[in-house]
Amino acid sequence: MKKFIRIISFVCALLIVLGAVICFGAVLQDARHDNREAHLLCGYYDTTDPHDVIFIGDCEVYEGFIPATLFEEYGITSFVRGSSQQTVWQSYHILAETLEKETPRAVVFNVLALHYGETPLEAISRMAIEDMEWSEHKLDAIKASMTDEESLLSYFLPILRYHARWSELDSDDFKHAFDKHVDITHQGYLMQTDIDPVDTSDTRKPDDLLNTALPKRAMEYLDKMTALCREKGIELILVKAPTNSVRYYWYPEWDAQIVDYAEENGLAYYSMVGKDEEIGLDWSQDTYDKGLHLNVFGAEKVTSYFGKILAENHGLTDHRDDAELSAIWEERINSYYNERGEK
């Protein structure tokens, strides 16, 4: 009898530990959910309609291109699959995941992240990846993004990563621990309505480049993206969103390499750097953080400018006459304006 009690109590203890690991992990992981940038990728899994264009990339993508504006002005259906400091290897795996679900006409990849040869910040990288649904692509994205200090196990058991946050927990963390991630974007676009103009008194100059070559690893993943799109018959378009920041200075040496790459691979490349006048950008109005990122007003101008390029140069169909699609998108556009108007 004692042997039986021993075995049963041992198994129960293991189950309690397992349950606690899962529950505490979920609660502790949830403690970062106040951060809006932790909810950028999840919205895509709920969409069922196909898209003409998929935008892939970092902050310049999810704060620079507005699918609602693109449909409203050009009838192009699109979705933004961007995340904070998204590295090229993350972009590749997110793209592979996306292309398993649908085959868009074009994929637009913002090239800023090509200057990262390794994952810049574990916390930000992890925040993005954890918003993905579990699949082989997520696993590949984790493996490609992991820093030396990380363990793969901690992605399966979040308690191993977030346990130190136990003292910061509040009741909300317990309340929403098992809630599904909430999509706070507009088809992947994260709206920013504040205005914080570029500081014109900041006369800092960008650092000199020690090595002008874009990292090999980043270029290898760009090759993979090119090959994947080619295999699926999708046009890959390279783009560089406008920049007005010393912190994210886009060096001409980098740009020249992208131009060469695009030429060698028969890809279109549009750099919007230095085209503020053409786009109509006013950095005293169109940024919410002193020129580091665009606000909604700047993003609308960039989307209008780039939408015209997509429509004219890449022959994308105008779906505004399609009643069914228009109905879906009208709802999305209304939601977009609701938030834009509210703020």
Partner 1 sequence: MNFASFEFLAFLAVLTLVYFLVPKKVQWIVLLLGSVVFYAFAGFVSFFFLLFAIVISYITVQILGKRIESLKKYLEETKTTLTKDERKAYRAKHKNTSLVILCIGIFVMTLSLVYVKYLSSMIGFKITERGISFGKYALEIMGISYYTFISIGYMIDVYRERAAVERNFFRHALFVSFFPQLAMGPISRYADTGEQLKATHSFDAKEAWCGFLRILWGFFKKLVVADAIAPAIGFIVSQKLGGIYFILLCLFYSIRIYGDFTGGIDIVLGSAQILGIKLPENFNRPFSSKSTAEYWNRWHMTMGNWFTNYIFYPLSLTKTMQKLSKWGRAKLGTGVGKRLPVYTATIITWLATGLWHGIAWNFVVWGLLNGVVILISQELNPLYEKFRARFPKLWNSAPYQSFMAVRTFLLMSLIRVFDCYCDVPLTFDRFFSTFYTFNIGEIFKGGLLELNVSLTQYIVIAVGIVIMTAVSRLSAEKPLREVLWGKPILGNAIMAILCIAILVFGSYGLGFDASAFIYGGTFN
Binds partner 1 by CB under 8 A, chosen from 73, 150, 223, 289:
150
Nearer of residues 32 and 163 to partner 1, judged by Cβ:
163
Nearer of residues 153 and 323 to partner 1, judged by Cβ:
153
Residues 213/244, Cβ–Cβ less than 8 Å: no
Burial (0-12, 13-18, 19+ Cβ within 10 Å), 44:
buried
For position 143 contacting partner 1 by CB under 8 A, the verdict is: no
Q: Which residues, 78 to 137, sit near partner 1 by CB under 8 A?
A: 122
Compute the distance between CA of residue 176 and CA of residue 3 in angstroms, rounded to an integer: 41
For position 227 contacting partner 1 by CB under 8 A, the verdict is: no
CB of 203 to partner 1, least distance (A): 37
Nearer of residues 2 and 205 to partner 1, judged by Cβ:
2
Burial (0-12, 13-18, 19+ Cβ within 10 Å), 223:
middle
Compute the distance between CA of residue 30 and CA of residue 335 in angstroms, rounded to an integer: 26
Q: Which stretch binds partner 1 (CB under 8 A): 58-66, 154-162, 229-237, 309-317?
A: 154-162
Q: Where are the alpha helices (DSSP H) in the chain?
A: 2-30, 59-62, 67-74, 88-101, 122-129, 136-145, 153-156, 159-162, 171-175, 216-232, 252-265, 276-279, 296-313, 323-342
Nearer of residues 159 and 177 to partner 1, judged by Cβ:
159
Q: Which residues pair with 254 in a beta bridge?
A: none
Residues 308/270, Cβ–Cβ less than 8 Å: no
Nearer of residues 164 and 327 to partner 1, judged by Cβ:
164
Q: What mask, x for binding partner 1 by CB under 8 A, covers residues 2 to 41?
A: x--xx--xx-xxx-xx--xx--x-----------------
Radius of gyration of the chain (CA): 22
Nearer of residues 150 and 282 to partner 1, judged by Cβ:
150
For position 1 contacting partner 1 by CB under 8 A, the verdict is: no
Residues 90/220, Cβ–Cβ less than 8 Å: no
Compute the distance between CA of residue 133 and CA of residue 119 in angstroms, rounded to an integer: 20
For position 213 contacting partner 1 by CB under 8 A, the verdict is: no
Nearer of residues 160 and 184 to partner 1, judged by Cβ:
160
- Total of residues contacting partner 1 (CB under 8 A): 26
Binds partner 1 by CB under 8 A, chosen from 32, 47, 140, 160:
160
Binds partner 1 by CB under 8 A, chosen from 51, 81, 161, 301:
161
Q: Which stretch binds partner 1 (CB under 8 A): 31-39, 143-151, 279-287, 289-297?
A: 143-151
Nearer of residues 12 and 209 to partner 1, judged by Cβ:
12
Q: What mask, x for binding partner 1 by CB under 8 A, covers residues 162 to 201?
A: -xx-xx----------------------------------
Compute the distance between CA of residue 234 and CA of residue 245 in angstroms, rounded to an integer: 33
Burial (0-12, 13-18, 19+ Cβ within 10 Å), 62:
buried
Residues near partner 1, by CB under 8 A:
2, 5-6, 9-10, 12-14, 16-17, 20-21, 24, 122, 149-151, 153-154, 159-161, 163-164, 166-167
